Structure 1
Amino acid sequence: MAPAAASLEQITLPFAFEGFGTSLAWWASQLGQAESPVVDHLLQLLFADPSAGGIGLNCTRYNIGGSTDPARNASFRPGANVVPCLSSPDEPQLRILERIVKLREGLPLHVEAFSNSPPQDLTISGSSAGHQSRFTDNIKLEDVPRFAQFLVDSVAALLEKGIPVSTLSPINEPSEPVWIVGNNQEGCYWSGPARKALATSLRTLLDSTGLKSRGVKLALAEENNLLNVARKLDFTSDGDIINVHTYTTDQFTDISVVKLYAWGIQDTRLLRSYVRSTAQKRKQPLAVSEFGLGGPSLSSNICDVGTHGFVLVRHAIHDIVSLNAIRWVYWQAVEDRGSNWGCIQVPFNGAPQSSDILVGAQYHALGMLVRAIPVGTRTFEYWCTTRRVVLINREFMRVVVASDASRTQRHLTWELASPVSGSFRVLRLETVDGKAVVNDLGVRTVEEGRPVEIPKGVVELWDGATTTPAPAA
Structure 2
Amino acid sequence: MTERADGEIRVIDPQRAYTWEGWGTCLSWWANTELGTRDDLAAVLFGLDPVKVRTTKRQVELPGLGLNIVRYNLGACTWTERTRGRRRMVESPAIVRRKQIGEFWDGEHWDWCADANQWAMLTKARDNGADTFEMFSVSPPWWMTANGNPSGAERGQDDNLLRSNQEAFAHLIAMVTRHARDEWGIRFQSVEPFNEPSLNAWHAGQNQEGCHFTVEAQEAVIACLRRELDGHGLRDVLIAASDECYYSQAVNTWRSFPEPIRAMIGRVNVHGYDRDRDPKNRIALRETVGDAMPVWQAEYSEGEPDGLTMALSIGRDVRYLRPRGWVCWQPVESLDWGLLDGGYDDQTVNPDGHAKGTLEGEVTGVNTKYYVLAHYTRHIRPMAQILDSGHADTVAALDPTARCLTLVTANDGGPRTVTYDLGRLIRTGGTVRTWVTDTSDSWTARHYTREPDTFTSDRTLTVHQTARTITTLEIDL
TM range (shorter): 0.7 to 0.9
What is the rounded CA distance, in whole Å, between the counterparts of 2:390 and 2:13 in structure 1? 9
Matches within 5 A, 1:229-240: 229-233=250-254, 234-235=256-257, 237=262, 238-240=264-266
- Give the whole-Å Cα distance in 2 for the aligned partners of 1:74 and 1:274: 39
1:118-165 Cα offsets, whole Å, 9 max, x none, are: 101111111100001121011221211111111111212221211121
Structure 1 CA distance for aligned equivalents of residues 132 and 462 of structure 2: 40
Counterpart of 2:336, as a letter, is: N
SS of 1:189's equivalent in the other structure is coil
Report which of the two has the higher share of helix: 1
State which of 375, 381, 395 in structure 1 corresponds to 2:382: 375
Q: Secondary structure at the match of 1:7?
A: strand
Q: Does 1:66 align with 2:76?
A: yes
The DSSP-based 3-state class of the residue aligned with 2:389 is strand
Deviation by residue 1:265-288 (Cα, 9 ceiling, x = unmatched): xx964443332234336x431111
Aligned to 2:133: 111
Whole-Å separation in 1 of the counterparts to 2:226 and 2:395 = 42
3-state SS of paired residue (2:447)? strand
Q: 1:114 to 1:433 in 2, by over 3 A?
A: same
Give the structure 2 partner of residue 226 of structure 1. 247
Contact in 2 for aligned 1:221/1:242 (Cα 8 Å): yes
Matched, 1:342 2:366: no
- Preserved contact between residue 3 and residue 451 of structure 1 (Cα < 8 Å): no
Counterpart of 1:410? none
Could you say which residue in structure 2 is the equivalent of 1:202? 225
Q: One-letter code of the match for 2:467?
A: K
| Cα distance, 1:381 vs structure 2 | 3.2
The equivalent of 1:288 in structure 2 is 297
Q: 1:98 aligns with which of 118, 123, 133?
A: 123
> What is the aligned partner in structure 1 of residue 191 from structure 2?
168
Q: Deviations over 1:347-389 (max 9, x none)?
A: 1238666xx542222222222112342211234231335xx53
Unmatched segments (≥5 aa) in structure 1: 250-263, 408-412, 467-473
Amino acid at match of 1:330: C
Does the CA-based 8 Å contact 1:129-1:181 persist in structure 2?
yes
Instruction: State the secondary structure of the residue aligned to 1:440.
Output: strand
Match in the other structure for 2:83: none
Given that residues 103 and 114 in structure 2 are in contact (C-alpha distance below 8 angstroms), is that contact kept between their aligned partners in structure 1?
no
The yes-or-no answer on 1:81 pairing with 2:100 is: yes
3-state SS of paired residue (1:172): coil
| Contact 1:360/1:435 (<8 A) preserved | no
Is 1:30 the counterpart of 2:37 in the alignment? Answer: no
Q: Which residue of 1 aligns with 2:321?
A: 323
Distance 1:422 1:192 in 2: 53
Query: Is the 8 Å Cα contact of residues 374 and 448 (structure 2) preserved in structure 1?
Result: no
Kindly provide the amino acid, as one letter, of the partner of residue 56 in structure 1: G
User: Structure 2: any 5+ residue segments left out of the alignment?
Assistant: 52-62, 80-88, 106-110, 346-357, 423-428
> What are the residue-to-residue correspondences of 1:43-58 with 2, within 5 Å?
43-50=42-49, 53-58=63-68
Distance of aligned partners of 1:435 and 1:452 in 2 relative to their CA distance in 1, 3 Å threshold = closer
Structure 2 counterpart of 1:163, one-letter code: I
Distance in 2 between residues matched to 1:450 and 1:199, nearest whole Å:
49
For 1:442, which of 441, 452, 463 is the aligned residue?
A: 452
3-state SS of the aligned residue for 2:343? coil
Q: RMSD value over aligned CA atoms?
A: 2.8
1:94 Cα deviation from its structure 2 partner: 0.7
Q: SS of the residue aligned with 1:347?
A: strand
Structure 1 length as normaliser, TM-score? Answer: 0.80
CA, structure 1 residues 352+145, in 2 after alignment: closer, same or farther (shift >3 Å)?
closer
Secondary structure of residue in 1 paired with 2:70: strand
CA contact (8 A) 1:124 1:131 kept: yes
Cα distance change on mapping 1:114 and 1:392 into 2, 3 Å: closer
Of 417-426 and 76-85, more deviation after overlay is shown by 417-426
Counting matched residue pairs gives 416
Residue identity in the other structure for 2:284: Y
What's the offset of the Cα at 1:316? 1.2
AA of the residue aligned to 1:63: N
Deviation at 1:74, TM superposition (A): 4.6
Structure 1 residue 342, shift from structure 2 partner = 2.0
Distance verdict in 2 for CA 1:115–1:12, change over 3 Å: farther
Is 1:136 aligned to residue 165 of structure 2? no
Q: 2:290 aligns to what SS in structure 1?
A: helix
Distance 2:285 2:452 in 1: 43
Q: Which residue of 1 aligns with 2:284?
A: 274
Q: CA deviation at 1:29?
A: 0.6
The Cα of 1:78 is off from its aligned counterpart by 5.1
On the 8 A contact 1:398/1:463 being kept in 2, the answer is yes
CA distance in 2 between partners of 1:79 and 1:16 (Å) = 36
Change in 2 beyond 3 A, CA 1:202/1:434: farther
Q: In 2, distance between residues paired with 1:189 and 1:129?
A: 10
| 86-95 or 40-49, larger mean C-alpha shift | 86-95
